[in-house]
C-alpha cells in the first residue's frame, strides 16, 4: 500500500511539473518579449542574491597597482581609478538597486493604495483634500520630486528608498482610485452592504482585491523607474552614499574624467542600468497583456 501511495505521489508530482513546463512554454510562445524581460529580471535578482559567490573580489577593497586596469583575465570588466574590481562593484551594486527598487515600490504602492482606496471608496471631503495633494505631487516629474525629497532627507539608503517611494505614490493612488470609483457601485458591493458588512471591511475584502491586476502591472513598471531614479540620484550625489557601491555613482565618478581613457568605467554600469530597466519594462508589458481581459487566450 505504501509503495502504491508513493507511486501515486510521484505521478502527481510529475504531472504538476509537466503542467508547469507546458504553461511556461505557452507563455514563452505567446509573450516572447515578456519571457526575455523575465529572464533579465531573474538574472538581475540572481546577481544580487549570489554576489558573494559569483565574485571573490571585495567591491570596497582598493588596489593602487590595479588602478584603471582594462578588462582582462584578472579583472573581467576592468578596475576603476582606485583599483576596485568593476565586476564586483556592478554585482554588489545590483543588491543596492534591488533593495531600493523593491523597497520604494512596496512603500509607494502601500501609500498609494491607502490613499486611492480611501479616496475613491469614501469620497467626500477626504477625496477632495487627497486629490488636491495628489495634484500637487503630480505637478512635478518623478525625478524632480525624488530630487526634492532626497535633498530634504539627506543621502542614505533608507532616505533614498523613502524619497523615491513618495514620488511613486501619486500614480498608484490615481490608478487605485479610478478603479475603486467604478467598483463601489457594482452589485457585489451593494450585496455586501445588505448582509451587514462594514464599509471598511467592504473596501478591504471586496474592492481592494479587484484592483490588484492594474496595481501589479503598475508596480512592475515602477520597478524600472525606481532603479532609474536611484541611479540618477546617485549620479547627482543625492542617492546611496559610500561605502555602498551604486551604478549611478560609478557613472558620476568616471563620466567626466575617464570616459575617453577608461571607457569601461562608463560602459558597463550604463549597460547594467539599461538592461535592468529594459527587462522590467518588457516584463511589465507582458503582465499587462496577460491580465487584460480583452486579450484572447
Cα pseudo-dihedral 271, 217, 20, 9, rounded to 10: 120
Q: What's the pLDDT at 4?
A: 47
Note whether residue 5 is domain-resident. Answer: no
Note whether residue 101 is domain-resident. Answer: yes
3-state secondary structure of 18: helix
229 is in which domain, residue-wise?
A: 31-291
pLDDT tens digits, one per residue of 43-60: 988 988 888 888 888 888
Note whether residue 24 is domain-resident. Answer: no
Note whether residue 280 is domain-resident. Answer: yes
81 contacts 67 by C-beta, under 8 angstroms: yes
- Enumerate the H helices of 31-140 as residue ranges: 32-49, 51-54, 86-122, 124-138
Note whether residue 36 is domain-resident. Answer: yes
What nine digits make up the cell of 71? 578588462
pLDDT tens digits, one per residue of 139-167: 888 888 888 888 888 888 888 899 999 98
User: Comparing 4 with 134, which gets the higher pLDDT?
Assistant: 134
Q: What's the pLDDT at 297?
A: 46
Q: Give the CATH number for residue 176.
A: 1.10.3720.10
pLDDT tens digits, one per residue of 64-118: 888 888 888 888 888 888 888 999 999 998 888 888 889 999 999 999 999 988 8
* 148-153 contacts, C-beta under 8 A, 24 or more apart: 150/233, 150/238, 150/239, 151/238
- Enumerate the H helices of 123-186 as residue ranges: 124-138, 142-153, 157-183
Note whether residue 118 is domain-resident. Answer: yes
Note whether residue 210 is domain-resident. Answer: yes
Distance, CA of 205 to CA of 197 (rounded, Å): 10
116 contacts 175 by C-beta, under 8 angstroms: yes
Average pLDDT, whole number, for the chain?
Answer: 82
3-state secondary structure of 85: strand
Percentage of the chain exceeding pLDDT 70: 89
Q: What's the pLDDT at 12?
A: 54
Task: Using a cut of 0.95, tell me whether the model's pTM lies above it.
Answer: no
Mean pLDDT of 255-278: 85
Mean pLDDT of 255-272: 84
Question: Total domain count for the chain?
Answer: 1
Note whether residue 81 is domain-resident. Answer: yes
State the burial class of residue 39 (Cβ atoms within 10 Å of its Cβ: 0-12, 13-18, 19+): middle
Amino acid at each position: 500500500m505504501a509503495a502504491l501511495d508513493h507511486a501515486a505521489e510521484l505521478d502527481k508530482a510529475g504531472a504538476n511539473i509537466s503542467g508547469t513546463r507546458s504553461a511556461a512554454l505557452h507563455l514563452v510562445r505567446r509573450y516572447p518579449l515578456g519571457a526575455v524581460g523575465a529572464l533579465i529580471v531573474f538574472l538581475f535578482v540572481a546577481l544580487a542574491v549570489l554576489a558573494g559567490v559569483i565574485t571573490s573580489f571585495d567591491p570596497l577593497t582598493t588596489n593602487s597597482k590595479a588602478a584603471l586596469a582594462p578588462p582582462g583575465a584578472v579583472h573581467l570588466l576592468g578596475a576603476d581609478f582606485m583599483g576596485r574590481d568593476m565586476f564586483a562593484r556592478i554585482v554588489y551594486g545590483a543588491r543596492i538597486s534591488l533593495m531600493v527598487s523593491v523597497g520604494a515600490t512596496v512603500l509607494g504602492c502601500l501609500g498609494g493604495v491607502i490613499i486611492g482606496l480611501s479616496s475613491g471608496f469614501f469620497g467626500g471631503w477626504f477625496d477632495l483634500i487627497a486629490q488636491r495633494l495628489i495634484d500637487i505631487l503630480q505637478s512635478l516629474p518623478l525625478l524632480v520630486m525624488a530630487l526634492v525629497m532626497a535633498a530634504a532627507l539627506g543621502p542614505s539608503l533608507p532616505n533614498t528608498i523613502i524619497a523615491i517611494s513618495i514620488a511613486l505614490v501619486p500614480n498608484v493612488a490615481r490608478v487605485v482610485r479610478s478603479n475603486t470609483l467604478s467598483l463601489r457601485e457594482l452589485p457585489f458591493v451593494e450585496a455586501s452592504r445588505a448582509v451587514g458588512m462594514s464599509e471598511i471591511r467592504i473596501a478591504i475584502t471586496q474592492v481592494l482585491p479587484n484592483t490588484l491586476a492594474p496595481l501589479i502591472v503598475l508596480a512592475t513598471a515602477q520597478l524600472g523607474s525606481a532603479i532609474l531614479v536611484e541611479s540618477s540620484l546617485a549620479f547627482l550625489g543625492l542617492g546611496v552614499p559610500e561605502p555602498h557601491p551604486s551604478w549611478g555613482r560609478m557613472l558620476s565618478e568616471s563620466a567626466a574624467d575617464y570616459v575617453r581613457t577608461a571607457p569601461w568605467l562608463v560602459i558597463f554600469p550604463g549597460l547594467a542600468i539599461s538592461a535592468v530597466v529594459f527587462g522590467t519594462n518588457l516584463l511589465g508589458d507582458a503582465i499587462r497583456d496577460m491580465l487584460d481581459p480583452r486579450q484572447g487566450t
